[in-house]
């Protein structure tokens, strides 16, 4: 996301229908989930108060109101946290400078420094896709397959519009290839010359 929707549009939409603001920020699954929960809570309230009021005791009605209020408030809180995280991400030239520092450190072979920078970026914004992808690359270079795969899967999840799909796919392919060659060399070591013909 290169820029955020206008805050007035974002907050008005989310106040009218919880989850809409999250959809506008690119969090489709979370926004739709909040929208469905809000719709169900509202339908339950309408049913309880207008359609069949005799079937619901006062304490059950109070519980339904509490659930609806929790969904509504939760949607606003999640939107606020996501809005702040994206704002920090977009506002910071410092973030881009820090990521460039991680790339330079990687090219110079200072993998620990690159990893430290990426981890610092993720502390500021846990959804920083580039830092997550780079951590996957660093883990692959060090032969840590499980860690690399975890970071690459997370990067694929964060890459909602598929902009980094080629890079993520290339890293996963390199990881798979290194796994195959590692398994082949381990098998060759375990046989240790058993293929040589015995002398007569």
What is the mean pLDDT of the segment spanning 120-126? Answer: 86
pLDDT score for 88: 65
Contact 148, 139 (CB under 8 A): yes
Contact 95, 117 (CB under 8 A): no
Contact 131, 103 (CB under 8 A): no
pTM for the full predicted model: 0.49
Chain-wide mean pLDDT for the chain?
A: 81
How confident is the model over 14-31, as pLDDT tens digits?
888 888 888 888 788 888
Q: Is the pLDDT of residue 155 over 90?
A: yes
What is the mean pLDDT of the segment spanning 146-168? Answer: 91
Indicate the pLDDT class of residue 177, thresholds 50, 70 and 90: confident
Residue 158's alpha-carbon distances to 50, 54, 124, 152, in angstroms, are: 43, 47, 15, 10
């Amino acid at each position: 996301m290169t820029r955020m929707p206008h805050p007035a549009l974002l907050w008005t939409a989310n106040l009218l229908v919880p989850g809409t603001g999250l959809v506008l920020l690119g969090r489709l699954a979370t926004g739709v989930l909040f929208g469905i929960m809000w719709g169900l809570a509202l339908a339950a309230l309408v049913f309880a108060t207008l359609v069949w009021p005799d079937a619901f005791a006062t304490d059950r009605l109070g519980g339904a109101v509490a659930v609806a209020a929790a969904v509504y408030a939760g949607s606003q809180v999640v939107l606020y946290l996501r809005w702040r995280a994206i704002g920090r991400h977009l506002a910071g030239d410092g973030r881009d400078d820090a990521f460039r520092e991680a790339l330079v450190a990687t090219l110079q072979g200072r993998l620990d420094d690159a990893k430290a920078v990426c981890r610092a970026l993720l502390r500021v914004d846990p959804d920083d896709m580039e830092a997550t992808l780079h951590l996957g690359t660093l883990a692959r270079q060090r032969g840590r397959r499980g860690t690399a795969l975890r970071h690459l899967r997370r990067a694929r999840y964060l890459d909602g519009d598929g902009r980094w799909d080629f890079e993520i796919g290339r890293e996963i392919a390199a990881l798979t290839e290194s796994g195959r060659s590692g398994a082949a060399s381990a098998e060759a070591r375990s046989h240790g010359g058993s293929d040589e013909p015995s002398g007569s």
